[in-house]
Amino acid sequence: MEQALQGNIGRFTLPEIFQLVANSRKTGTLGIQKDDDIVMVYFKSGRIIYGYGPRQTYHIGQLLKDRGRLSAQQLEDAVNTQAREASSKRLGQILMEKKYIDRADLENVVRSQVEELIYSLLSWETGTFKFYENQYPTEEEITVNISVENAILEGYRRIDELNRIKEAMPDFNIVPVIAATPPERKSSISLNSEEWNLLSLVDGKRTIEEIVQISPLARMDTLRKLGALKLAGLLKVGGKKQEPTDHLQSMVDRVSQLLEEYLSLKSKPSKAEKTTVENIQQTVHSRLSPADLAPNSIEEER
């Protein structure tokens, strides 16, 4: 009886596990788990035909919209149809039935989705895996045909490039800002439309990761261009994203500090001045305090 293919990542790397499945020309599903993330990779005769992760970033509808194959209104309509009918149909099938896309559009985007999932998997260094022989959790109408060898080669090229990008931008949870450019240099700067579009997403509030999520470009293309803009001195790295409550609290503290500085400048502030300043401080804290503002903000949003 053949021993089940399962174990811990670390003892075996994921590329080694993929190669073992490919060399054995296995058919079935490789389940991989790291913490709360679970990914399923479908194989047929040792080749990758599908991949699915409940938390994967690259959803079909968003990919189609980002590529200009689908409008925001069409995507919303299809999603609403799926929810309204409590349909078991995949979103891609609904989009085709509504003639918003054709089969070729769906096949191309499914391939991109699976490839991106596999490339991200190859960087996992911990977790567990198990191969389910001749079993698929779902029946997929649209499948791909990807060579394990090519997936590994491209995945490692991306990991290597990502490491170089991280030298310029070590933390994707920081907020980039547009750097001040001397007037004499502005006329010599030549950016293409994609770079201008990326710069337009840099608003001093979004993190690098948030910019990647809303960029119409692929993840690696976005990171590559942001890294180049940083190295060219057009972007600079800001700090971590401040939560609104933290920002409000800093405003409260700053107002209090200014009032105290005002008193310290007076050689002998009168009792009335002291009382006035104390009243202002109390009013600021009661009206600007994050705890008091939060419910009002929620009501306004409603």
pLDDT in tens, 109-135: 899 889 989 988 888 889 999 999 999
Residue 295 has pLDDT above 60, yes or no: no
Tokens encoding 142: 């649209």
Q: The CATH number of 169-240 is which of 1.10.238, 1.10.10, 1.10.3470, 2.60.40? A: 1.10.10
H/E stretch holding 39 reads strand 37-44
Closest of 185, 215, 207 to residue 58, by C-alpha: 215
- pLDDT band at 73; cut points 50, 70, 90: very high
Name which residue leads in pLDDT, 3 or 97.
97
Rounded Cα gap, residues 261 and 252, in angstroms:
14
**Helix, strand, coil percent values for the chain (each to nearest 5):** 55, 15, 30
* Cα distances (angstroms) measured from residue 87 to each of 83, 93, 191: 7, 11, 45
pTM: 0.63
pLDDT given at position 136: 93
Task: For strands 47-52 and 127-133, give the pairing.
Answer: unpaired
Tokens of 231: 């190295």
pLDDT of residue 302: 34
More confident residue, 302 or 194: 194
User: For residue 45, what are its two tokens?
Assistant: 């005769």
**CA angle at 53 for the pair 169 and 68, rounded to the nearest 5°:** 70
